[in-house]
Structure 1
Amino acid sequence: LDSKEMGFSHWRSLAALIDQRLADATCDGVVVTHGTDTLEEAAWFLDLVGRWSKPVILVGSMRPATALSADGPANLYQAVSVCADPAAAGRGVMVVMAADILSGWRAVKISATALNGFHAYPGGSVGYVSGDQVFFYQGPDPGPLSGRFADLINDGRPLPLIDIQFCTAGCAQLHNQWWPQGLDAGLVVAGFGGGTVPDTMADALRETASSGTSIVISSRVPKVTVLPETMTLEESDRVVASRYLNPQKAAVLLSLSLAAGCTPLSSFEALQ
């Protein structure tokens, strides 16, 4: 399945399968091959729902198998090497790409073509692979919400789909034309800079939030920092700053928070 076709339902099934495999005493870890289009969301989702002491490694390739110097075989070899290394125990979900070892909750895709198209944000990589040697720079790096939503793997509660709207120059004049209709769950807004939005959009967002829709304000910049004090709107139970989560990761956390019945504010505050 092409990763551009994947979403919450696929990752929930994947998490259940990983749960099943890791429950086997003869299984020391799991390697998941995954397309890079949505690999960062998959890694984040699995980190949020997985309470796994055994390593779970996601790996992909930036070049197709038919390309000259395809990177897939080397990436897969390195992913298996990391998974089999005793030092990988207790580190949970990780991403291995181009010899870099990234904590799953930090992994972000930064390039559509470069072999080292993934990096860690915030922070940096936790290790690397050289030949058949695996090196870790530090101890386990659990995410602040790792395993928080483990109960959602098998309980069947629907995971709401979250719309994402980007701010662009001139969007203050256009928002009435593209503003999503019929929202009943959540919305992520990729604002400018530290989470600023035009005044007319801010008014519309306040009205949307007052109708019961949960809104997360993220940013369209690569290294996101949106805090309550930097965004245009006031933070509340219904309007939340994404902290360091980009729009696509913020949408994952918002969906899981709503499905679990907890306030989005409590989830996003836990990131600080």
Structure 2
Amino acid sequence: MRGGGGLYAHHLKRSAAAGLRCLALCHRRQPLSAEAYDLPRRRGSYATTVETSGSTGQNRDGAWGYNALDGYIYGVDENSRRLYRIDGAGDITDFGSISGAGDALNAGDILPNGRLIYEVNLNTWQIVDLSNPATPIALGEISLSIGVNPEDLAFNPVDGIMYGIDRNSGFLFRAAVNNGTPGSVTPQAIGPAVYAGMFDALWFDRDGRLYGYSNTTNNLFVISTATGVPQLVSGIPVDEGGRSDGISCRGPAPIPLGASRAISMKTRMLRT
């Protein structure tokens, strides 16, 4: 992806219906075209191949997530309050600006209850109710007592906590979002400060396993939420051009780490 943003859409697959089906796949959204990555496991490691799978013909970057209430991908364009939807065909719908919301940076995720949380600045996250996306409601803000600078946020369905990687400190961090309720929280650093460069795509599966993609190294990792330590899964053969994003419907884990049998994992890259 050169000149625009990309998104790993974990577990999602385009269907004949307007929304997307939730499967054990990984997807990365990028602008202008789409590829799918197959990661067959061989003797404890993974290799990748690339498959073209579609294009939206647009260029959008910002805070993206999967809304479990209707099966669509939603995002707020960076440096704006403008809400967009991506459907199962890769088409984008513009819902206009969200009244009363702050301008988005490029980190965010959608909770299972349809509440989008996205970064406004180092100390502020916006909450938006997407239970009726045609009329989104700005519900207020989460104030962070310690400033953090994530490139993406990912909600853990197991513990109900939001996670990110702070570019300023190099730490993985966690922050309670209380089901998308306005208030004040204190982000907590986890483990060693081992994250250099840009981790622009983070997402969880249903078992609470965190995945992260490094734009700097083009490597995909599984990250421990207990120790903060990353484990390399595979390199990705196509460079995203410095910008990407991650979403997940939090479905089955695509990588049974430690298993001896051969498995395959796909990531789809939808360029918008």
Interval containing the TM-score (normalised by the shorter chain): under 0.3
Q: Which has the larger radius of gyration?
A: 1
TM-score (norm 2): 0.28
